[in-house]
Amino acid sequence: MKIVSYFAGAGGMDLGFCFAGHDIIWANDFDQAAVKTYNNNIGIYSKHEAVCFDIVELLDKPKEQIDKIIPDCDVIIGGFPCQGFTIANLNRSMADDRNFLYIQLLKGISVKQPPFFLLENVKGLENIDNGQVLPMIIKDLENAGTVNSKLFPSNGPGYRVVYNVLNAYDFGVPQNRERVIILGIRNDIELGSLENHILETPISKNKPSKKLFIKPTHNEMSKTKDPELPKDKINKMYSNWKQSIKVKEYYKPSGTLYSTTTLRDAIGDIPWNYDDNTTFHNHCGSKCKVKIANHIGNRATHWDRRGPTIMGRGSGTGGPLLPPHPEQHRRLSIREVARIQTFPDEFIFHGTNSECYRQIGNAVPVLLAYNIALILTEREECGLPY
């Protein structure tokens, strides 16, 4: 399927969709360092380049001009900026301007009317402003392009919108990372096998239902070890994709639930000290001293446990919150947090240390994105019409 990507950042979501067999035809972000990272690791292989613009300025135009800027596509994807929503921001509220960037996604969906859209955000989106924000967003998305559309009303069929909170840990990613995943399906689209991934599990009368189901690949209760470590899996996927080898033919979820992965699985082979590095790109990083304490960014990590959530920023005012290395002698390096986010080793990040950490922390883990993208790949392979 042809994909338009909003807020692409360094490209974690996009790379997962590429591995699942989709084609990114347009991508945007306003961060110059992130766009450089994206284009040097994804753009040069996928025959498109991300454009570096402030999306608010880019789409501050009439409907007809937006229609020309954004190409026709099958899916619009986007992890709209989440600093205002995240639980790490103690002052979060809808008064935060960043929380209205989803309006830019709504513009694209309302104008282009793609068969599908797939959006990502932090778990905190569920309960911000006493749980009133997510139902508002879902209602806007359901009405996109219809006579009741918040933007550019027209005679479109509207969307069926389902969501759930997925933990990347359940898909082989070695960290605890819960994210809201929202899937929109245009009402005139035949679901086919996609119906198998949508289950109705109502929460309450006042909140939208969690209906999206994507079968996990890993479970902490399982005793069956995954035959490949996440780093080896993702490196092979990236190598194959760069050579135009179909990744999804190599790695499809087997139906077996494997045991979940650990920090040892993710970074156990990376030198403990920056100065010992002769092999790994971006194995450098913060000189900030480690002080173990019971708050985010300073809690001890352990080799044989999952990693903590890798964050792009702190409370909205500081730099990235960097967990300590399991040996507690330094903070995790750029390459180590990239490994924990399941980026390939040959995926090189550009910018200052702080910019690189931010790009990685703001990204969707590649393995999570891949497993999500497969549900649309399965539908496409059924040959169902749009």
Instruction: Return the closest-CA partner of residue 91 out of 322, 317, 310.
Output: 317
Sheet holding 51-52, edge to edge: 51-52, 23-29, 2-6, 75-78, 116-122, 178-186, 159-167, 210-212, 198-201
Cβ neighbours of residue 208 under 8 Å, at least 6 residues apart? 134, 135, 138, 161, 163
Residue 267, phi then psi, degrees to nearest 5: -130, 10
Residue 349, phi then psi, degrees to nearest 5: -90, 140
User: Is there a catalytic annotation at residue 288?
Assistant: no
State the maximum Cα–Cα separation within the chain, in Å, rounded to a whole number.
62
Query: Of the listed 18, 73, 82, 356, which one is catalytic?
Result: 82
**How open is the CA angle 369-373-378, to the nearest 5 degrees?**
155
How many CA atoms does the CB half-sphere of 49 hold within 13 Å? 9
Annotated catalytic residues are 82
